[in-house]
Amino acid sequence: MEPIVIMGVAGCGKSSLGAVVAQATGLPLVEGDDHHSASNREKMQSGVPLTDADRDGWLTTLCEQLRAHPLGVVMTCSALKRAYRTGLRQAAPAIRFVFMDIDREQAQSRVAARAHAHIFPSTLVDSQFATLESPVGESGVLRVDARAALTQLQAEVTAWVNHKEYT
């Protein structure tokens, strides 16, 4: 099966959807946030947005993770810029991206609600939207409404990845 990246801004539900898609497909789950460097974690916890240079080592590690799972993997990764997705595609040419589309207010609310349990503060949500280059229209991308019920999202993604023809 092709690798699947669950992507989008902070608060869209990448981790939740990634977990249920991994379970439904039987693929291993790689949580992108687990692979940030200590300095990246410190910056985010301090409310400092990551730069392309900060993300470079992280994305290299995620590419290594993709190569380490040749039979498929579900990965959560913001993949905000087209250049980041291009790098991931080079590591795994058959990769598919599930873009969890959400509006700024909903993302802000979700991130604020989990502030006690997550490295990412709500003050960084605006920087995520400023960085986001929508993948809609790119090959191998499914856009989903991040506000939909998790069971609906899982069914939609699973049906899409099981369908061999996609755009």
**Is the model's pLDDT at 104 over the cut of 70?**
yes
Residue 64 lies in a domain: yes
Report the C-alpha gap between 119 and 127 in whole angstroms.
Answer: 15
Q: 132 near 125, Cβ under 8 Å?
A: no
Total H helices, total E strands in the chain: 7, 5
pLDDT band at 157 (very low <50, low <70, confident <90, very high): very high
State yes or no: pLDDT of 46 exceeds 90: no
167 within domain boundaries:
no
CATH at 52: 3.40.50.300
Quote the domain boundaries for residue 122.
4-13+25-161
For residue 71, what is the DSSP state? T
**pLDDT of the residue at 27:** 97
* 20 falls within a domain: no
The predicted model gives 46-74 an average pLDDT of 93
> Does 116 score more than 80 pLDDT?
no
Residue 79 domain-assigned (yes or no): yes
Does residue 76 lie in a domain region?
yes
Instruction: Decide if 18 is inside a domain.
Output: no
Say if 157 falls within a structural domain: yes
Give the range among 46-50, 74-78, 79-83 with minimum mean pLDDT.
46-50
Using DSSP, state whether 4 is helix, strand or coil: strand
Q: Which of 13-22, 25-34, 103-112, 152-161 has the lowest mean pLDDT?
A: 103-112
Q: Residue 122 phi/psi, 5° resolution?
A: -65, -20
Q: What is the pLDDT confidence band of residue 1, given thresholds at 50, 70 and 90?
A: confident
Answer yes or no: is 166 within a domain: no
- The pLDDT score that the predictor gives to residue 167 is 47
Task: Please count the structural domains in the chain.
Answer: 1
